[in-house]
Amino acid sequence: MSLKKKLGMGLASAALGIALIGGGTYAYFSDTEVSANSFTAGTLDLSVNPSTIIDVDNLKPGDWMSRSFELVNDGSLDISAVDLHTDYTVIDANGDNGSEDFGEHIRVNFLKNLDKDSLFQYPHENVITSATLAELQGEVPDAVENKIWAFLGWGDEASGIEVGESDDLIVQFEFVDNGQDQNVFQGDSLELEWTFEAQQTEGESR
């Protein structure tokens, strides 16, 4: 065999060896597992029962009206606070109100959260607010706040509403008799809109 042919066969053998070695680098065992993960957000769902808290007519100065209602947590997340937003529209029947605002003459004598009343501390009643509707437009009270200091927190319910729970509230409105001429309000009406806005609790490690 000539030297040229021997060299050619040697190079071919070397190339085949390299190819086998190279191909061998892709021949290995493997195993694959898939981790399926998900993120599902909770829900804040607050309901007011009844949805219409008050509907009354034929009022005169000095009349007062007490009504009860319930705030219910129908969601999957605890509620830390329920902000109360007040808005109203006055229908001036005779167009004679001038600068007078009917909302300044309708007062919330008290809005109380009965579930947050104290068993041991004084005062026992948890009053959320007491103000005229005009004043409440500039305020945002928390309807589920426990405003009473409790001794070591024992015996009293914390602020907020837990999942599946509810708070009972009572409100008293009064058409205030200010002892002056209030004839401009005869035949007038006031449409009150209370918006209860639930807030979540703080984030936590999960």
pLDDT in tens, 151-200: 555 557 889 999 999 999 999 999 999 999 999 999 999 999 999 999 99
Q: pLDDT at position 20, please?
A: 47
3-state DSSP percent of the chain in helix, strand and coil, to 5 = 20, 30, 50
Q: Are 132 and 108 in contact (CB under 8 A)?
A: yes
Look up the pTM and report it: 0.81
What is d(CA 136, CA 129) in angstroms, rounded to the nearest whole number? Answer: 9
DSSP 154: T
Q: Is residue 148 very low, low, confident or very high in pLDDT (cuts 50, 70, 90)?
A: confident
- Extract the tokens encoding 83: 């902000």
